């Protein structure tokens, strides 16, 4: 049985009109962010209006998937316990995408004690339900 066909018990993102294109792209294993068509600034999370110039003109661009680690915590006490007991310890992080915006995510593919500031990362996609694919980041060992 694949991961996607098992019952997924953890909280899932709630899609809204602004975030739906992001999650649709994740389902295709693409990481997409919004760029303002007036001032060129990229932003995440997606919003209808540019926080820099208030323009409503936007386009979705595909990010490179490369990032560096900005900040993180190691979760060792599962809350709720029955949902996360098998996952601890795990890393919750804020990463800086190559395009300059920051994204909350999980770090996978390395032990929590091996996580270091500014470590190079690359995106991976986890299909957790037929509708939802979660982007996570792993060390980019080149
Ligand atoms: Zn703008």
pLDDT of residue 82: 86
CB within 8 Å of 103: residues ≥ 6 apart? 44, 67, 94, 95, 97, 135
Asked if 84 and 75 touch (Cβ cutoff 8 Å), the reply is yes
Cα–ligand 1 centroid distance for 133 (angstroms): 29
Please give the average per-residue pLDDT across 94-105, as a whole number.
98
Cα–ligand 1 centroid distance for 103 (angstroms): 19
Q: How confident is the model at residue 128 (pLDDT cuts 50, 70, 90)?
A: very high
Q: Which contiguous run of DSSP H or E holds residue 84?
A: helix 81-84
**Residue 5 reports pLDDT greater than 70:** no
Per-domain residue ranges for the chain? Answer: 14-139
Cα–ligand 1 centroid distance for 51 (angstroms): 7
pTM of the full structure? 0.91
Please give the average per-residue pLDDT across 25-45, as a whole number.
98
Cα–ligand 1 centroid distance for 135 (angstroms): 26
Cα–ligand 1 centroid distance for 27 (angstroms): 27
**Residue 1 reports pLDDT greater than 50:** no
pLDDT of residue 7: 81
């Amino acid at each position: 049985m694949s991961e996607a066909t098992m019952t997924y018990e953890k909280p899932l993102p709630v899609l809204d009109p602004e975030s739906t294109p992001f999650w649709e792209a994740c389902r295709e294993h693409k990481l997409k962010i919004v760029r303002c068509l007036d001032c060129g600034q990229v932003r995440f999370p997606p919003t209808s209006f540019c926080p820099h110039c208030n323009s409503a003109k936007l386009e979705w661009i595909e990010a490179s998937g490369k990032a560096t680690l900005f900040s993180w915590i190691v979760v060792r006490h599962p809350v709720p316990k029955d949902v996360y007991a098998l996952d601890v310890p795990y890393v919750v992080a804020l990463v800086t995408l190559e395009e300059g915006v920051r994204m909350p995510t999980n770090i996978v593919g390395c032990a929590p004690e091996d996580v270091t500031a500014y470590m190079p990362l690359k995106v991976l996609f986890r299909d957790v339900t037929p509708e939802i694919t979660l982007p996570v980041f792993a060390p980019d060992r080149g």
